[in-house]
Homo-oligomer: A and B are copies of this chain.
């Protein structure tokens, strides 16, 4: 099928979930209600690291309206977790961070549940704590003294407070440094950033009489939540049903279990449905924010600015549990290499435990942190060598057929086009010096996560099609995109496609709404299902039209063979009468690219799947007195392979850049002695609509081999480059790079004042 003939794919069609969301009709998980439902609340530690000397729930349990109080003593002793099974539902004998769940209450009203929390008596005995991630690397204070007894994926390297260490090595770094014209070494830090989803984490659980539990929740990964709940509840996974009524944003913060287990455990105890919803304070003390990191980068270049060698190290502060830290740390290495040809690489990452809340996989996990270091340093090198920042990148970027850091062969490489188009759009060549104003550029790459997707497509007797998928529409428009592909393949309109809600029991398995994969992977599954449905329809039409299958095509909702045709609706009716109807199960899985195992050590995610490329350029001013940054223009050139729906891709770019601006300039969960100092949405500063400029999107289409119609993953990349692009523009405006996110007005003003002195 040629792109020029597309009727539905590639079109700027409204999102299928749009009207429900803008009219308020859409039911989110937090709206979901069952008759007779109780309200659950969680008692959380007020100490960062302490022994629980006494835990007395008797006063709370006796309160009128309280239906259950549960603690670790009431539930199966299970440790769960992705890479490392280190996590418990409640603190056991010790609390490991402020906010650590100690008990949970179910009551007939939220007010009573809150009152009951206050009636639970806890006596603590404080223990020495470790809060600094670099100190934790060598600390005698262990967050998990028993870490060696935990089960973990075999590939994960652990020791002490290190829950995961990964390495990429290529060439001889020391020799290359020795022969380099210059070697640069810098240290960067980034802060904890909350995913900023609009809807808190919310779940309702209800048990049936056969001991099966259904959980309605706003999760990105219903099948992962199903499995984790099964482990926690000590049940076969098929006895746990996860339904996603709707989800008000996720951004990676709703990948892993949130409050579902509390709801399920309380519902089991009370034999009543129970709902648990988080508050803003809980979100900012115990959710899955983007890890804070420390990045050190040592880069050797030749006289012309060609990269010869790079030694990099990134440390991720994962908090009290590993969470997705080991995987995030591993991914960081590809970003530390950057989309550049560098013969010698020695990259290393560490996920470490500290006595803080657990971090997670925020959109483009590790991407912006590592990219901030790499792309800031590129500009520092360019400045030192007197090179144009665009030019130094063009001299070093990868091209078609080059090898990536894991040794994989890179295909559909478009970084040059992205750089040139972003630069052209921002007016890169027109950078007249103006006091306090500067332009910055940054580029990068990212992967399209693999994993399998299955869809189940029915063609209905009215000629429409129903798509049953286990992939959640988390607000990206990805399901609209997949539906556009399905409609295209079946010669239907998008309005002819309906999508069921996600239900682990009814839907085929899907690896989930993560890693920029949904439209890509579900779209591929739709291609497979549509191919099967065409075969089924053509077989029926052959009998009806007395025409050979080979002569048939779908056109305008009909099976057409020469001058004969029959409507899809009619074929569906015949199929239902003569058999079970037109139904197909389509599946897709992205094969991992070949890589060089000799380059990798303890790396669970060895090579980029279907990489995307992108360049961001920004034009901004810095107020010389207040340090306030005012962004005038922001341009993104992103290779999306094929723009399934340009409008929603632009939405992804605009949203991602907004989050990137927040990370760059204002967002930080501030810890002091283990306590979050700004656990509210007044003091935790996300950009508002007024803080975000118009964002100009340039959709580059360098078709991938693996994606539907050549598409690549689009969701995560937009938030990767903003910190670096903004840092470079600030440097252009001020003459200095701030190596520490967020680059708040306070930090900039302080530096401006110091330099004026």
Contact = CB atoms under 8 A, between A and B. Distances in A.
Interface of A: 16, 19-21, 23, 25-26, 31, 33-35, 208-210, 212, 230, 236-239, 452-454, 456, 458, 460-464, 466, 468, 498, 500, 503, 505-509, 525, 576-581, 583-589
How many of these chains are in the complex?
A: 2
Given A23-B209, A500-B505, 17 more contacts: A19-B209, A19-B210, A25-B208, A26-B208, A236-B462, A236-B463, A237-B460, A237-B462, A238-B460, A238-B498, A239-B464, A452-B576, A454-B579, A498-B505, A500-B503, A500-B506, A509-B581
A248 to B, nearest CB: 15
A113 to B, nearest CB: 19
A31 B20 contact: no
A583 B508 contact: yes
A26 B210 CA distance: 10
B239 A580 contact: no
A584 B238 CA distance: 17
Contact of A506 (B25, B463, B468): B468
27 contacts: A16-B210, A19-B210, A23-B209, A33-B34, A230-B462, A236-B462, A237-B462, A238-B464, A238-B498, A239-B498, A452-B576, A454-B580, A454-B583, A466-B506, A468-B505, A498-B505, A500-B503, A500-B505, A500-B506, A508-B581, A509-B581, A578-B589, A580-B586, A580-B587, A580-B589, A581-B587, A584-B585
Residue picked from A23, A237, A576, most chain B C-beta under 10 Å: A576
B585 A212 contact: no
Nearest to A458: B508
Nearest to A32: B35
B583 A456 contact: yes
A238 B572 CA distance: 12
A720 to B, nearest CB: 28
A583 B581 contact: no
Contacts of A212: 498
Nearest to A235: B462
A509 B33 CA distance: 29
A33 B273 CA distance: 13
A456 B466 CA distance: 14
B509 A506 contact: no
Contacts of A576: 452, 509
A452 B581 contact: yes
Contacts of A587: 579-581
A509 B588 contact: no
Contact of A580 (B25, B31, B505, B588): B588
A577 to B, nearest CB: 7
Given A578-B589, A581-B452, A587-B580, A466 B503 contact: no
Contacts of A21: 209
B506 A503 contact: yes
A153 to B, nearest CB: 14
A247 B236 CA distance: 28
A271 to B, nearest CB: 8
A452 B577 contact: yes
Contact of A456 (B26, B239, B456, B509): B456
A551 to B, nearest CB: 27
A505 B581 contact: no
Contacts of A580: 452-454, 508-509, 525, 585-589
A230 B587 CA distance: 32
A288 to B, nearest CB: 25
Given A238-B466, A580-B585, A587-B579, A209 B20 contact: yes
A452 B461 CA distance: 14
A581 B454 CA distance: 8
A320 to B, nearest CB: 29
A103 B237 CA distance: 49
